[in-house]
């Protein structure tokens, strides 16, 4: 295939773990690039199913993209996903060239003989702090998908785990950044005394080490600590952070504004807990942080452990994290890294993979 040319598929159906919203994640970035490049004519983006449905109807957030809300007729515990899967399998999914599964619990019920399937694992949800019944549901689904789908993962660690669990040599399609947006962005201006350090991304108790964040905020070298992104913290963690005089929580921002807000910070933080779940992550923020050209301080997880040794990247254990922030504030800014990280190239690789998946004959 000539350089830069991508094969074209007419229609891809995506079973997503997230709604189509303004806080873009991997699914939305890849979808947007697939249709923008012409690799796919249309992506039907099926949002997570809700028992009581939703007030939303089908909508087109971008040319070539149809966001479709789903409704369960029965609770999951009594076969709601299986019933929905049958409806989709014989209806909305029947004519798709490829089924792109991000939600394994629903996706396993949507498999059709002869329809190519790709399972985009993204994170190792079986190692997340879910109730046992949800973990069992995920494991049962992945046991089937390991046999029925060509598997795509977005981290080297997940590739290793899938080889150990299933003998599957999964392919790696990394996350990325919107290079055009980063090149055009101007730094956001933050109020209050600097230096300004911050975390850009969804705040979740399973990922974010709140004690470590508070230690950073308390250090005299820091002027303000900013939390930028959706707040999914528990009440106690939220209260502890909001009580600190130097912590500012800004809430979610549209995807197009992420470069500006990130560029406004003097040092970029990723104080994630180190766990089997976070070690499986290929955090989008690791690429966005590199694109910003700002010093980075991160715990050795979520993809940052693979960046140790790059200019301006300080990978530190929790006990060395605050000294690393001080060193980053005193050091020089690294050059931004863009070309090798662009979503355009990620989507090109993904499109080639989608078009080469053999039809399921099991």
Q: What is the CATH number of the domain that holds 74?
A: 3.40.50.2000
Question: Are the CB atoms for 338 and 182 separated by under 8 Å?
Answer: yes
Question: Do residues 50 and 102 share a domain?
Answer: yes
Question: Do residues 187 and 122 share a domain?
Answer: no
d(CA 310, CA 243): 35
Question: Do residues 166 and 189 share a domain?
Answer: no
pLDDT in tens, 219-249: 999 999 999 999 999 999 999 999 999 999 9
What pLDDT is recorded for position 66? 98
What pLDDT is recorded for position 52? 79
Question: Do residues 58 and 126 share a domain?
Answer: yes
Does the residue 4 lie in any domain?
no
The reply to whether the predicted model has a pTM over 0.85 is: yes
Question: Do residues 38 and 169 share a domain?
Answer: yes
Question: Do residues 147 and 22 share a domain?
Answer: yes
Question: Do residues 201 and 218 share a domain?
Answer: yes
What pLDDT is recorded for position 3? 53
Question: Are the CB atoms for 181 and 254 separated by under 8 Å?
Answer: no
CA dihedral 187, 190, 194, 199 (to 10 degrees): -80
Does the residue 1 lie in any domain?
no
d(CA 70, CA 339): 37
CA proximity to 349, closest of 11, 44, 39, 14: 39
Count: domains in the chain: 2
Does the residue 362 lie in any domain?
no
d(CA 320, CA 136): 37
| Residues sharing a CB contact under 8 Å with residue 132, sequence separation 6 or more, in sequence order | none
Does the residue 222 lie in any domain?
yes
Question: Do residues 233 and 204 share a domain?
Answer: yes
Domain that holds residue 211: 179-340
Does the residue 195 lie in any domain?
yes
Peptide bond into 51 cis (omega under 30): no
Question: Do residues 166 and 192 share a domain?
Answer: no
Question: Do residues 219 and 166 share a domain?
Answer: no
Question: Do residues 205 and 106 share a domain?
Answer: no
Which residue carries 């499986």 as its tokens? 280
Question: Do residues 37 and 137 share a domain?
Answer: yes
**Residues lower than pLDDT 50 in the chain:** 1-2
Does the residue 126 lie in any domain?
yes
What pLDDT is recorded for position 1? 43
Question: Are the CB atoms for 152 and 121 separated by under 8 Å?
Answer: yes
What pLDDT is recorded for position 55? 72
What pLDDT is recorded for position 8? 85
Does the residue 312 lie in any domain?
yes
Does the residue 189 lie in any domain?
yes
């Amino acid at each position: 295939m000539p350089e830069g040319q991508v094969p074209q598929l007419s229609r891809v159906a995506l079973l997503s773990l997230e709604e189509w919203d303004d806080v873009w994640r991997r699914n939305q970035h890849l979808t947007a690039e697939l249709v923008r490049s012409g690799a796919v004519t249309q992506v039907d983006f099926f949002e997570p199913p809700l028992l009581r449905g939703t007030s939303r109807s089908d909508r087109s957030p971008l040319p070539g993209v149809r966001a479709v809300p789903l409704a369960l007729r029965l609770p999951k515990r009594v076969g709601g996903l299986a019933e929905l899967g049958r409806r989709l399998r014989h209806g909305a999914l029947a004519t798709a060239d490829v089924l792109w599964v991000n939600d394994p619990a629903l996706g396993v019920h949507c498999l059709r003989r002869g329809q190519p399937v790709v399972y985009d694992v993204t994170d190792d949800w079986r190692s997340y702090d879910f109730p046992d019944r949800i973990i069992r549901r995920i494991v049962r689904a992945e046991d089937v998908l390991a046999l029925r789908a060509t598997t795509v993962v977005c981290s080297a660690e997940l590739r290793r785990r899938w080889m150990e669990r299933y003998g599957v040599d999964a392919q790696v399609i990394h996350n990325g950044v919107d290079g055009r947006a980063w090149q055009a962005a101007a730094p956001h201006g933050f109020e209050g005394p600097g230096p300004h350090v911050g975390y850009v991304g969804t705040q979740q108790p399973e990922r974010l080490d709140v004690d470590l964040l508070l230690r950073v905020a308390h250090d005299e070298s820091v002027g303000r600590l900013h939390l930028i992104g959706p707040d999914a913290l528990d009440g106690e963690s939220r209260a502890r952070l909001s009580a600190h005089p130097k912590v500012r929580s800004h809430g979610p921002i549209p995807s197009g504004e992420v470069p500006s807000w990130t560029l406004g910070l003097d040092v970029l933080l990723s104080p994630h807990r180190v766990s089997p779940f976070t070690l499986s992550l290929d955090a989008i923020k690791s690429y966005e942080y590199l694109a910003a050209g700002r010093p980075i301080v991160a715990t050795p997880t979520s993809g940052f452990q693979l960046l140790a040794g790059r200019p301006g990247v300080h990978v530190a254990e929790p006990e060395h994290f605050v000294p690393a922030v001080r060193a980053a504030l005193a050091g020089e800014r690294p050059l931004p890294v863009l070309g090798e990280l662009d979503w355009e190239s990620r989507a090109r690789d993904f499109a080639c993979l989608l078009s080469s998946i053999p039809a399921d004959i099991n």
